[in-house]
Amino acid sequence: MEPQQRSPLLEVKGNLELKRPLVKAPSRLPLPGSRFKRGLDQMEDVLEPEKKRTRGLGTATKFTSSHPRAPAITTVPQAQGQTTAPKVPKKTGPRCSTAVVTVLKNQKPGPAVPAQKPGTAAAPPKLGGKKPSKRPAWDLKGQLCDLNAELKCCRERTQTLDQENQQLRVQLREAQQQATALGAERRTLEGELTRVRAQAEQGQQELGNLSARVLELEERLGTQEGLVQELQKEQLELQEERRELATRLEEQERRLQASEAALSGSQAEVASLRQEAAAQAALLAERGERLHGLEMERRRLHNQLQELKGNIRVFCRVRPVLPGEPTPPPGFLLFPSGPGGPSDPPTHLSLFRSDERRGTLSGVPAPPTRHDFSFDRVFPPGSGQDEVFEEIAMLVQSALDGYPVCIFAYGQTGSGKTFTMEGGPGGDPQVEGLIPRALRHLFSVAQELSGQGWTYSFVASYVEIYNETVRDLLAPGTRKGQGGECEIRRAGPGSEELTVTNARYIPVSCEKEVEALLHLARQNRAVARTAQNERSSRSHSVFQLQISGEHAGRGLQCGAPLNLVDLAGSERLDPGLALGPGERERLRETQAINSSLSTLGLVIMALSNKESHVPYRNSKLTYLLQNSLGGSAKMLMFVNISPLEENVSESLNSLRFASKVNQCVIGTAQANRK
Q: Parallel, antiparallel, or unpaired: how do β-strands 556-566 and 405-411 relate?
A: parallel
In whole angstroms, what is the distance from residue 31 CA to residue 17 CA? 27
The dihedral through the CA atoms of 577, 594, 564, 645 has a sign that is: positive
pLDDT-based confidence at 607, cuts 50/70/90?
Answer: confident
For residue 97, give every residue at least 6 positions away whose Cβ sits within 8 Å of its Cβ, in sequence order, or none. 39, 40, 42, 43, 67
Q: What value does the CA radius of gyration of the chain take, rounded to a whole number of Å?
A: 51
pLDDT tens column, 381-425? 989 999 999 989 888 888 888 889 999 999 988 888 999 998 887
Q: C-alpha dihedral over 83, 88, 92, 95, to 10 degrees?
A: -150
pLDDT tens column, 378-393? 999 989 999 999 989 8
User: 126: helix, coil or strand?
Assistant: coil
**pLDDT higher than 60, residue 87:** no
In whole angstroms, what is the distance from residue 28 CA to residue 42 CA? 25
Using H for helix, E for strand and C for coil, what is the string for 440-459? HHHHHHHHHHHCCCEEEEEE
In whole angstroms, what is the distance from residue 439 CA to residue 486 CA? 25
In whole angstroms, what is the distance from residue 478 CA to residue 423 CA? 27
What is the share, in percent, of the chain residues with pLDDT greater than 90?
27
pLDDT score, position 459: 94
For residue 150, give every residue at least 6 positions away whose Cβ sits within 8 Å of its Cβ, in sequence order, or none. 72, 73, 104, 109, 112
Residues in the chain: 674
pLDDT tens column, 189-221? 999 999 999 999 999 999 999 999 999 988 888
**pLDDT higher than 70, residue 110:** no
- Higher confidence at residue 303 or residue 471? 471
In whole angstroms, what is the distance from residue 85 CA to residue 104 CA? 19
Query: Per the annotation, where are the binding residues?
Result: 411-418
In whole angstroms, what is the distance from residue 404 CA to residue 627 CA? 8
Short-list 628, 625, 622, CA closest to 603:
622
pTM of structure:
0.56
CB 60 within 8 A of CB 8: yes
**318: β partners:** 641
Q: Count Cβ neighbours within 10 Å for each residue of 170-203 and write b for 16 or more, e otherwise.
A: eeeeeeeeeeeeeeeeeeeeeeeeeeeeeeeeee
pLDDT score, position 128: 43
In whole angstroms, what is the distance from residue 419 CA to residue 212 CA? 91
What's the Cα-to-Cα distance from 497 to each of 151, 458, 506, 567, 656, rounded to whole Å? 69, 16, 17, 22, 33
Query: Per the annotation, where are the binding residues for ATP?
Result: 411-418
Element (H, E) at 547: strand 540-551
Burial class of residue 545 in the structure, from the number of CB atoms within 10 Å of its CB (0-12 exposed, 13-18 middle, 19+ buried): buried
pLDDT-based confidence at 171, cuts 50/70/90?
Answer: very high
In whole angstroms, what is the distance from residue 267 CA to residue 498 CA? 64
pLDDT-based confidence at 30, cuts 50/70/90?
Answer: very low
Average pLDDT over residues 31-38: 44
Q: What domains are there in the chain, each with its CATH number? A: 311-319+330-662 (3.40.850.10)
pLDDT score, position 65: 40
